[in-house]
């Protein structure tokens, strides 16, 4: 559907609302919080039509399933792991230490202890894009929740990756899986943070548990804004857009500055998919950047060399002269990306998302620290926090030249 550029943001906002699902999911979350494994078994029977015999997969089950993986797929997964490790191993932030007015100040980056990853059925590559990052960050324990197959098993590739990265796997999906990881059950340990994609019910559950556990964000449907130069083969651009439209409910936007070229790409796209998408015309290449920054999409794909990609500020991942699907599997950045316009304030998942900074303050020169403390007293009194000020005054009185 062609729309004016001014209508794009409003159209996309109407396509990604989560509000109507919150109340539907609240009861599921409460059931799991209050009844633990019993609720997981009952809800899995209701939603997945699977009778669970054990919530967690054993090591023997994982090994049996992992043995079914095609060697070529194993090689591809190993290459994906190497690519993700090579890039993200360089993203870990360093600790910081300095000395100021008699204080030694340190900010240490420490990993959270346990994370939970939600892996939708069939999306086994998500474990590479989350679990590998967590291991790079130094997370002690990683658990995975994923919907069971009719026989109660999981994807063999997921089993292979679970053994490769050393994670525990639980055969439970949907909103109930998010609640289990957030609150813990008899079988599922409580985690410190939940990450990973999922359908609208999974995302609604993440909203509801976000006051009890960290989340990576609330993810809407997959998004791609493709900006194409008329010199690029229309079929190449159409294939890139069709790839992301392959996801259920995906949002695609095609942008160019030639009406004839737009029609040609649309014709090629019609040969590949019936999925709905939006298209719009701009006056010149620079406007493509403006459209991307306004929409703030999960994926931005730039086909052409005359678009100033360095000016793109709001996007999860930018693919330049390459298909966006490379990011989904092997390019190196995680494919867990901000959606629904949240690229305005957050970005691609990295090891930093599995770490937290802790500040340490230690006086090492009492005379200098006392002078700094006197300024703190002034601020505390002015704000009306007398006991704050008194605690500092008492500390100052205890300082003697021998402490200097």
Q: pLDDT tens digit string along 14-39?
A: 555 688 899 999 999 999 999 999 99
Query: Running DSSP on this structure, what letter comes out for residue 288?
Result: H
Average pLDDT over residues 339-361: 97
CB 142 within 8 A of CB 117: yes
Query: Running DSSP on this structure, what letter comes out for residue 247?
Result: S
Q: Which helix (H) or strand (E) holds 215?
A: strand 214-215
pLDDT at 5 over 60: yes
User: Across all residues in the chain, what is the average pLDDT?
Assistant: 95
The pTM of this model reads 0.92
- The better pLDDT of the pair 2, 185 is held by 185
pLDDT at residue number 266: 97
CB 144 within 8 A of CB 131: yes
Per DSSP bridges, beta strands 168-170 and 141-145 are parallel
Question: Which overall architecture, per CATH, does domain 220-348 show?
Answer: 3-Layer(aba) Sandwich (3.40)
Q: Which helix (H) or strand (E) holds 278?
A: strand 278-281
Enumerate residues 6+ apart whose C-beta is below 8 A from 40.
32, 52, 55, 172, 176, 180, 185, 187, 188
Domain covering 20-216, topology: Rossmann fold (3.40.50)
pLDDT tens figures, 210-247: 999 999 999 888 999 999 999 999 999 999 999 999 99
The rounded distance, in Å, linking the Cα atoms of 182 and 29 is: 9
pLDDT tens figures, 125-184: 999 999 999 999 999 999 999 999 999 999 999 999 999 999 999 999 999 999 999 999
> Which among 139, 141, 142 is positioned nearest to 118, based on CA atoms?
142
pLDDT tens figures, 39-97: 999 999 999 999 998 999 999 999 999 999 999 999 999 999 999 999 999 999 999 99
Give me the active site residues, please. Answer: 298-299
pLDDT at residue number 8: 72
Domain positions in the chain are 20-216, 220-348, 366-403
pLDDT at 404 over 50: no
pLDDT at residue number 391: 98
């Amino acid at each position: 559907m062609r729309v004016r550029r001014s209508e794009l943001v409003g159209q996309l906002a109407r396509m990604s609302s989560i509000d109507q699902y919150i109340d539907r999911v609240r009861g599921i979350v409460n059931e799991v919080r209050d009844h633990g494994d019993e609720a997981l078994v009952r809800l899995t029977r209701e939603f997945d039509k699977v009778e669970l015999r054990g919530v967690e997969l054993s090591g023997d089950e994982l090994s049996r399933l992992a043995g079914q993986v095609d060697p070529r797929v194993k090689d591809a997964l190993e290459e994906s792991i190497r690519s993700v490790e090579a890039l993200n191993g360089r993203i870990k932030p360093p600790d910081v230490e300095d000395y100021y007015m008699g204080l030694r100040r340190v900010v240490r980056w420490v990993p959270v202890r346990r994370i939970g990853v939600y892996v939708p059925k069939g999306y086994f590559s998500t474990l590479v894009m989350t679990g590998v990052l967590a291991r790079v960050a130094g997370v002690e324990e990683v658990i995975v929740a994923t919907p069971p197959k009719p026989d109660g098993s999981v994807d063999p590739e997921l089993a292979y990756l679970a053994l490769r990265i050393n994670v525990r796997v639980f055969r439970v999906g949907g909103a109930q899986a998010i609640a289990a990881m957030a609150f813990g059950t008899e079988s599922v340990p409580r985690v410190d943070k939940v990450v990973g994609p999922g359908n609208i019910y999974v995302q609604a559950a993440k909203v509801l548990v976000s006051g009890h556990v960290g989340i990576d964000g609330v993810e809407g449907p997959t998004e791609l804004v493709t900006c194409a130069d008329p010199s690029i083969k229309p079929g190449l651009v159409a294939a890139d857009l069709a790839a992301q439209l392959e996801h259920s409910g995906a949002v695609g936007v095609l942008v160019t500055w030639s009406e004839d070229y737009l029609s040609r790409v649309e014709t090629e796209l019609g040969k590949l998919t019936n999925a709905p998408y939006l298209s719009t015309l701009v006056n010149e290449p620079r406007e493509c950047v403006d459209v991307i920054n306004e929409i703030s999409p999960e994926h931005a794909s730039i086909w052409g060399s005359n678009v100033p990609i360095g000016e793109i500020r709001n996007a999860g991942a930018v693919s330049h002269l390459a298909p966006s699907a490379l990011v989904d599997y092997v390019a190196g950045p995680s494919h867990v990306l901000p959606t629904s316009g949240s690229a305005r304030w957050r970005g691609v998942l990295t090891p930093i998302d599995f770490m937290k900074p802790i500040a340490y303050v230690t006086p090492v020169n009492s005379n200098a620290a006392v002078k700094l403390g006197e300024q703190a007293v002034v601020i505390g009194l002015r704000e009306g926090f007398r006991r704050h000020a008194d605690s500092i005054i008492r500390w100052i009185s205890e300082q003697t030249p021998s402490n200097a």
